[in-house]
Amino acid sequence: MSVVQNLSKVEERILAACARSGRVRASVRLLAVSKLHSPEKIREGYAAGLRFFGENYAQEAVDKQKLITDLPELSWHYIGRIQSNKAKLLAGKFSLIHSVETAKVADYFNRAGEKPEDILLQYNVAGEDSKGGADLNELLATVDAVTQHENIRVHGLMVMPPLTADAESTRPYFKKAREVLQTIRDRVGPGALAKHPLNELSMGTSQDFEVAIEEGATWIRLGTDIFGARPQ
């Protein structure tokens, strides 16, 4: 099916999940994961009404940005793992970076950018060795460090629960992420919250986004359900 058709089906599911959880549709934003898809596919998505696009690979993302300069409302997001030596390449080029997992990487962004960098901290909510992100103790230490930076704005958390065919089994992880975000808000206090909103949860993919919405996701990250199978 076309991107327009796929998006229509996804929108129905988002609306239903919002209705079940008593949320307004505007409280959930759809990030179209465009990694490995062509600039033409991104243009098709934009024409269908998509505005937020997520990329996983630094060089690919920057190359696409150079090729797509005529879509004024397009917002680029970075969702891939970040090595310290890639932070300079990424700095200042994205509306939101979802995947900062260490204070060291945050410090690179703080020093590299010419303007404040908007970030999410990646929390390894299930403690999986195969996934990026900080464990809870590391996350809290990172929050304490990065909320002192002048050139960083922390907007919330990004999580990736275990991949499973049973969407309902991801609910405890999404609930935990929401609770941890509230813990962080209480920890930093109103002074820090004036600069660091800490009100965003990037969670939910094609396998489980409806459950994520029910548990408070403000960003859902969908690729296959929007663009179809990813090119190899």
Give me the pLDDT at residue 188, please: 96
Name the DSSP letter for residue 216. Answer: T
Distances (CA, A) of 131 to 134, 160, 231: 9, 8, 22
Confidence of residue 81 (pLDDT cuts 50, 70, 90): very high
- Do the Cβ atoms of 218 and 202 come closer than 8 Å? yes
**Residue type present at position 117:** E
List the domains of the chain with CATH numbers: 3-227 (3.20.20.10)
- Tell me the average pLDDT across 90-102: 96
Tokens of 78: 């970075």
- Per-residue pLDDT reduced to its tens digit, 162-192: 999 999 999 999 999 999 999 999 999 999 9
Query: If you count them, how many residues does the chain have?
Result: 232
Per-residue pLDDT band for 114 (boundaries 50, 70, 90) equals confident
pLDDT of residue 84: 79
The mean pLDDT of 43-69, rounded to a whole number, is: 97
Strand partners, 152: 117
Using pLDDT thresholds of 50, 70 and 90, give the confidence band for residue 196: very high
Continuous segment of H or E residues that includes residue 20: helix 3-21
- DSSP 3-state of 112: helix
Task: Pick the range with the lowest mean pLDDT from 30-34, 136-140, 228-232.
Answer: 228-232
> What is the mean pLDDT of the segment spanning 20-31?
98
Mean pLDDT taken over the chain: 96
Distance CA 13, CA 189 (A): 36
Find the mean pLDDT for residues 24-42: 97
Whether this model's pTM surpasses 0.75: yes
Contact in structure between 123 and 141 (CB atoms under 8 Å): no
In the structure encoding, which two tokens stand for residue 52, read together? Answer: 């937020």
pLDDT digits (tens, 9 = 90+) for 62-78: 999 999 999 999 999 99
What pLDDT is stored for residue 1 in this prediction? 81
Cβ neighbours of residue 130 closer than 8 Å, sequence gap 6 or more: none
Question: How far apart are alpha carbons 205 and 3 in whole angstroms?
Answer: 17
> Is a pLDDT exceeding 80 seen at residue 113?
no
